[in-house]
Amino acid sequence: MDLSREGIVEGLEQILGPENVVTDEELLKQRSIDNFRKLENIFGVYTLPPPAAVAMVRSTRQVADVLAFADAHGVNVVPRTGGTATEGGLETVVANSIVLDGSGMDQILSIDAYNMQATCQCGVPLQALEDRAREQGLTTGHSPQSKPVAHLGGLVATRSIGQFSTLYGGIEDMVVGLEAVFPGGEVARIKNVPRRAAGPDIRHVVIGNEGALCFITEVTVKLFPYLPENNVFLGWTLKNMKTGFEVLREVMVNGYKPSVARLYDPEDGALHFSGFAAADDCVLLFMAEGAAGIARATAEGIGEIVGRHPECAQVDSGLIETWFNDLTWGPDKITREDERIRTTRNVNRTTEVSADWSSINDIYEAALGRIRREIPDLTVLGGHSSHSYINGTNMYFNYFYDLVDCGPEEEVTKYYLPIISIICEETLRHGGSIVHHHGIGKARAPWVKDEYGSSYSMLEKLKHAFDPNGVMNKGTIIPQR
Ligand SMILES: Cc1cc2nc3c(=O)[nH]c(=O)nc-3n(C[C@H](O)[C@H](O)[C@H](O)COP(=O)(O)OP(=O)(O)OC[C@H]3O[C@@H](n4cnc5c(N)ncnc54)[C@H](O)[C@@H]3O)c2cc1C
């Protein structure tokens, strides 16, 4: 880098105007991290170098100008929109980075009910798009728990997935076309067509790039009819996760497409279902939706499959609906959880992986067994499967621990990384993927070579081709040497 901190700020002010360049010290500290080091934010103890500035961009032209400036001077750029990242993707690991904040690009550009697609700038909160779509009887079908706070740019950049994924898919199934700006300032638009066979699908260079290849400025996603009046909720308790995985498998391989298909183990389930489930109960639940006939047939088919497993005891569907209506995390719930951690020093973390049907139960048992044996001070350890496919499913490990003899800034190294290590090792040993939907970020970058195996060279070549000077989000996806 050939510029001082002051030189970077001055350059940004020339491009964006001083009013769009944030240099407030406290805000810069907060912008040096995300939920990976959330305890640093909660306790106000920061360990990473703060960025030189947060650049608030309002247009594709401004994004291009900032990226050209950063590339010319070798300044690290960390793209950002909703700020809900969980894996360190927003961390500024080198001094004097630029945080490129697209949250001001918040225009919904079109809702095209005839072609069933909507186009938004990157800083549109998903909830805002969903609300506008519903005014026309439509839905995006995308419902991550962070829906009220995550933005379209970040949702695409992380390959996010929502609660209704078993029917609508992940974001990669929803993105029709997009616009992105590459280092140096080159703007690329990928047009909106239902499908094409014109060579490799270059959308996938952008989807999931986690800000390590380019900055996403605009996204077009599919829309679907919104028919909540047809929703059917179904739930059962049972004693074994293995049976639960088998029921999920049978539902999927028989071609049913519930929007929600979940299996909770007893410890994770107790956080939600203690009103009706016994302490040693697993909980299996589904939601069927869509056109009335489809929702009804899906619910009937699932009932028939679960009915072949006498271990499963049906629960009142109203209980499942009540649980379902409180699933998303808005700013209030996030603030309450931060306050709980600050006052109790009891920390909640999650890690999600995926694997085929043959391996998922082995991964679940092996990881839980090792975490219990090797990690002290756990107060809750469990998990659930929440996204199923014809060939496998995910496992979302959910764990709490008390901070004992440890400052908030040591939590990541003393507790969180050792737990992630076990989960990654056991998942890789059984042939699964170490990341189902939160992205690799910096938290899981140490395992990325093992995750990719012999295809890692393709990933490295992509990085070198699109970001030859290495200015995009250093340490994210590709570990820093
Ligand atoms: C309470 C809570 C619940 C969650 N639930 C879910 C869930 O159900 N499903 C799920 O998939 N995830 C979930 N997440 C994780 C998170 O919300 C997602 O990863 C989301 O996609 C991030 O979007 P964002 O706008 O907040 O992005 P940010 O946090 O701003 O950024 C995330 C990553 O994307 C990059 N990025 C951001 N904007 C751009 C851009 N315009 N161009 C290029 N790169 C960019 C950043 O550099 C970073 O690496 C949850 C997080 C929280 C805190």
Which of the four pLDDT bands, split at 50, 70 and 90, describes residue 117?
A: very high
Distances (CA, A) of 206 to 157, 158, 214, 216, 463: 7, 10, 7, 8, 11
pLDDT of residue 268: 97
Q: What's the average model confidence in pLDDT over 184-199? A: 98
Contact 3, 70 (CB under 8 A): no
Q: What's the average model confidence in pLDDT over 308-328? A: 92
CA of 154 to the centre of ligand 1 (A): 5
DSSP state of 409: G
Digit-coded pLDDT (tens) for 364-386: 999 999 999 999 999 999 999 99
Q: What's the average model confidence in pLDDT over 246-261? A: 98
Most informative mutation of 42, 91, 126, 146 for ligand 1 (most atoms within 8 A of CB): 146
pLDDT of residue 61: 98
pLDDT of residue 327: 80
Average per-residue pLDDT for the chain: 97
pLDDT of residue 2: 85
* The pLDDT of residue 444 is above 90: yes
Digit-coded pLDDT (tens) for 118-149: 999 999 999 999 999 999 999 999 999 999 99
CA of 92 to the centre of ligand 1 (A): 16
Nearest CA to ligand 1 atom 28: 83
Distances (CA, A) of 375 to 77, 365, 384, 396, 411: 36, 15, 20, 18, 13
pLDDT of residue 329: 84
* The pLDDT of residue 462 is above 80: yes
Contact 127, 82 (CB under 8 A): no
Residues with CB under 6 A from ligand 1: 34-35, 78-86, 89-90, 102, 122, 144-146, 150-151, 153-155, 157-158, 160-162, 210-211, 215-216, 329, 334, 437-439, 473, 476
Contact 217, 142 (CB under 8 A): no
Q: What's the average model confidence in pLDDT over 246-272? A: 97
Which of the four pLDDT bands, split at 50, 70 and 90, describes residue 416?
A: very high
Digit-coded pLDDT (tens) for 45-66: 999 999 999 999 999 999 999 9
* The pLDDT of residue 1 is above 80: no
* The pLDDT of residue 345 is above 80: yes
pLDDT of residue 481: 74
CA of 225 to the centre of ligand 1 (A): 25
pLDDT of residue 480: 85
pLDDT of residue 326: 81
> Closest by alpha carbon to 283, among 331, 316, 250?
316
Helix (H, G, I), strand (E, B) or coil at 225: strand
pLDDT of residue 328: 79
Q: Distance between CA 379 and CA 398 in Å, rounded?
A: 11
